[in-house]
Amino acid sequence: MRIAASIIAGAVGAIIVGAPIALAAGPDDARAAFDHRVDAMKQMGHALYVTIGKVVRGKAELGPDTAAAAETIVTLSATIPTLFPPGSNVGDSRVKPEIFAAGPRVQELAAGVREAAGGLVAAAKSGDLAALAAAYKAQDDACEACHRDFRKPEQ
């Protein structure tokens, strides 16, 4: 039983690990990977620049949705390393293809985003606006570290 379970667990693990590469195997898969990436980025962008940004700019009250938005970034940041399967630079994608061969650097950048998001959650829960503004800046820097290196400028 134990052996069977570990074989199954191993197989599941291999499927998950293999997924990003397999995803971009064909044109439809590459398109799906691109769409999925943009969707995840938009969700993080909305949470940071809109929901939390409004609070930082004094346009909204700091409340439970501020912390919830920060939690969204924590959750999605864990998926960042899976968002760049080779070949997913389709259509009007702004991804620089160099990212496809930059696995360890992407892991590092994703970890930076996740760590900053943890700080954002803590600041949002503390109710301290100055702490939130500092955490917002740290989060923005962590996101931009990747955009600077791996996102093409807008055409």
Query: Tokens in use for 28?
Result: 């439809």
Segment contacting ligand HEC (CB under 6 A): 6-14, 15-23, 62-70, 105-113?
Answer: 105-113
**Structural contact between residues 44 and 110, judged by C-beta atoms closer than 8 angstroms:** no
The owner of tokens 């939390």 is 52
Q: Is 62 in the site for ligand HEC (CB under 6 A)?
A: no
Segment contacting ligand HEC (CB under 6 A): 11-19, 50-58, 102-110, 124-132?
Answer: 102-110
Q: Is 38 in the site for ligand HEC (CB under 6 A)?
A: yes
Residue 102 CB, shortest distance to ligand HEC, in Å, is 8
Query: Tokens in use for 63?
Result: 């409340």
Phi, psi at 153, each rounded to 5°: -65, 155
Q: Is 151 in the site for ligand HEC (CB under 6 A)?
A: yes
Closest alpha carbon to 86 in 74, 102, 72, 75: 102
CA 23/CA 83 separation, integer angstroms: 10
**Structural contact between residues 91 and 47, judged by C-beta atoms closer than 8 angstroms:** no
Given candidates 45, 53, 86, 118, which one binds ligand HEC under the rule CB under 6 A?
45
CA 107/CA 125 separation, integer angstroms: 27
- Pick the closer one to ligand HEC by CB: 51 or 62: 51
Q: Is 113 in the site for ligand HEC (CB under 6 A)?
A: yes
Given candidates 44, 67, 69, 124, which one binds ligand HEC under the rule CB under 6 A?
44
Which residues in this chain contact ligand HEC in the complex, by CB under 6 A?
Answer: 34, 37-38, 41-42, 44-45, 48, 73, 80, 93-95, 106, 109-110, 113, 143, 146-147, 150-151
